[in-house]
Amino acid sequence: MNNIASGISRRSFLKTGAALGGGVIAAGMPLSQVIWAAEGKLLKVRSMEDINKLDPGFYNNSQNVDVMNCIYSKLTRYKPGSEWGWELEAAEKIEQVDPTHIRFRLKKGFKFTGGYGEMTAKDVKFSFERAIKFNSPVKVDWGSLDHVEIEDDYTGVIVHKTPFVPLWYITLPFGAGHIMSEDAVIKATGDGNDFGMTPPAFSGPYLLAEWKPKQYVHLTRNPDWSGPKPGFDEIRIIPISDPKSAERAYQAGDVDFTWVSLDSLASFRKNPPADTKIEQHPSIQYHWIGINVDHPKLKDINVRKAIQWAINVPQILDVAYAGEAAVATGTIAPGLVGHRDKALVPPEGDLTKAREFLEKAGVSDLTLTISVESADAALAQAVQAQLSQIGIALTVDVQESGSFWTLGMESEGERWKELQLFFTYFNSVPDPHYATVYFVSDQVGIWNWQRFRSERYDELSAKAATVSDPGERATMYYEMQDLMEESGAFRFITNGSTPLMYRTTQMQAATRPDGRPLYNDFGPA
């Protein structure tokens, strides 16, 4: 669904969109403003995927968050630069009163579009409690949140049942921390539940002017924005899932900012496009091969162990990433609390051990599901060759991006029952909770496609989020990653690397330390 409404009826909105030539035009934006926006400075950037959910209480990927950062406001935000940190956005002040209470005071003058008035503590309470009230998948971002107390129009207290350390680097500055107008959401949905792709009001420096699925997202300035002026009048975000296609789009001038595939990096370094800056950032993503422990062919841990020991990760990285990515030891990237020095299964594996495990089980054919990205295809071919050495014939199933990202979700049908092996990655943020919480038992059938279950893991996940001492937390996360690996459901591949390039004649780019764009901070050349 691609209709974006704000302060007008759905029917009148659709008429307006049709009159302006198709796609979706943000309601409440006069035609003169649309025309004016087209004359201003335009930032053209590539996104790895299309957006599909602009409700922060139910968001499901980083591409959605990139857009939400522009059209909504949060108490705090990530700082751009090479060091992880956060700074105030809609909050004038925020402080940890005690381990379970955080008091905030809003800045005055943050307005919602559509006539919904100024942002207040009432809107913060509503926004933060929604995920809990409606049992959203995003509720894991809030940990043990109990409620938000309102002290006055601008002041409130976030109350947790137990301490929740990840709040500062996951919840508040990322997706779940965006604040919506209670009145607007209630009017749009009736009960305050998920509004999907129809934001009822905006409060950030940009408005969602138009979205054409699989073509582009178009943002224009919000005239009601009272914060720092963004560097561009418009932002056009073009979803291109395949990195090679994105590189060609950059060279053709269709986008001025894109990530670069690791196997193209050396070539671009040697011969960069004109007026282009190339940067390489350390990634906190995690890439792995998942194994569905509930599939009949994979219930026997001996089969899973055979797969783990047959896969030679350095070979894969040479083939799929041109040797530009390092071996992962788990889901937690280097530099973050809980990163392990080494995995339990050595990166190179051991074919003799793999054959010994397989002899106890006797599976001869399996399927590996991947997305359409070129690096995934190269990886799949390498894994196919490696498993053939122990007698497993591997079929590779290539899925279009939109289809791939719902494979293991029970809410999307029965496909999860057929899922066997899959190669995937998750984006992350700089707290180990985010790199581990999606594998708790409650996430089975949501994001835990391995269907991995461990009472000890769940216990450690809950406890680690309450501990502020980095050393104590790290010990728990070491054990959690050990448990993941011991289950045979995971073969960790890499945390990747984030090379990107942008046209210096068009912009001054601004990113998080891991290369994730912060569009509000981009400046003109």
**256-288 tens-digit pLDDT:** 999 999 989 999 999 999 999 999 999 999 999
Please tell me the predicted confidence (pLDDT) of residue 348. 98
**Enclosing domain of residue 122:** 10-239
What are the Cα distances from residue 375, in Å, to 250, 459, 504? 19, 36, 27
Please tell me the predicted confidence (pLDDT) of residue 60. 87
Kindly state the average pLDDT of the residues 234-242. 95
Asked if 21 and 120 sit in the same domain, the reply is: yes
Cβ atoms of 71 and 284 within 8 Å: the answer is no
- Counting the structural domains of the chain, the total is 2
* Domain finish residue from 239, 261, 294: 239
Asked if 27 and 163 sit in the same domain, the reply is: yes
The full DSSP string for 87-126 is EESSEEEEEEEETTEEEEEEPTT-EETTTTEE--HHHHHH
Per-residue pLDDT tens over the stretch 288-334: 999 999 999 999 999 999 999 999 999 999 999 989 999 999 999 99
Residue 116: inside a domain, yes or no? yes
Q: Residue 398 sits in a domain of what CATH number? A: 3.10.105.10
Please tell me the predicted confidence (pLDDT) of residue 40. 55
Please tell me the predicted confidence (pLDDT) of residue 477. 98
Q: Residue 124 sits in a domain of what CATH number? A: 3.40.190.10
Asked if 200 and 295 sit in the same domain, the reply is: no
Structure tokens at 409: 């979700």
Asked if 394 and 301 sit in the same domain, the reply is: yes
Residue 151: inside a domain, yes or no? yes
Asked if 68 and 148 sit in the same domain, the reply is: yes
Per-residue pLDDT tens over the stretch 399-429: 998 899 999 999 999 999 999 999 999 999 9
Asked if 233 and 336 sit in the same domain, the reply is: no
Asked if 82 and 185 sit in the same domain, the reply is: yes
CB neighbours (10 Å) of residue 277? 13
Kindly report the CA angle at 236 between 235 and 237, in degrees rounded to 5?
115
* Domain finish residue from 205, 239, 273: 239
Q: Helices marked H in 271-406 — which ranges?
A: 301-310, 313-321, 351-359, 374-388, 401-404
Residue 298: inside a domain, yes or no? yes
Residue 3: inside a domain, yes or no? no
Asked if 332 and 235 sit in the same domain, the reply is: no
The full DSSP string for 144-175 is TEEEEEE-SSSEEEEEESS--GGGGTTTTTSS
Please tell me the predicted confidence (pLDDT) of residue 114. 97
| Distance of alpha carbon 442 from alpha carbon 456, whole angstroms | 13
pTM metric for this prediction: 0.86
Residue 19: inside a domain, yes or no? yes
| Distance of alpha carbon 344 from alpha carbon 329, whole angstroms | 8
Residue 222: inside a domain, yes or no? yes
| Type of residue found at 62 | S
In the predicted structure, residue 21 carries a pLDDT above the cut 80: no
Kindly state the average pLDDT of the residues 373-389. 92
In the predicted structure, residue 30 carries a pLDDT above the cut 50: no
Kindly state the average pLDDT of the residues 44-68. 95
Asked if 445 and 367 sit in the same domain, the reply is: yes
Asked if 205 and 309 sit in the same domain, the reply is: no
Q: Mean pLDDT for the chain? A: 91
Please tell me the predicted confidence (pLDDT) of residue 372. 84
Per-residue pLDDT tens over the stretch 443-489: 999 999 999 999 999 999 999 999 999 999 999 999 999 999 999 99
Task: With cut-offs at 50, 70 and 90, classify the pLDDT of residue 247.
Answer: very high
Q: Which residues pair with 208 in a beta bridge?
A: 219
Asked if 235 and 290 sit in the same domain, the reply is: no
> Which single residue is written with the structure tokens 């599939």?
295
Task: With cut-offs at 50, 70 and 90, classify the pLDDT of residue 525.
Answer: very high
CB neighbours (10 Å) of residue 268? 18
| Distance of alpha carbon 207 from alpha carbon 224, whole angstroms | 10
Asked if 200 and 342 sit in the same domain, the reply is: no
* Domain finish residue from 184, 204, 239: 239
Residue 524: inside a domain, yes or no? no
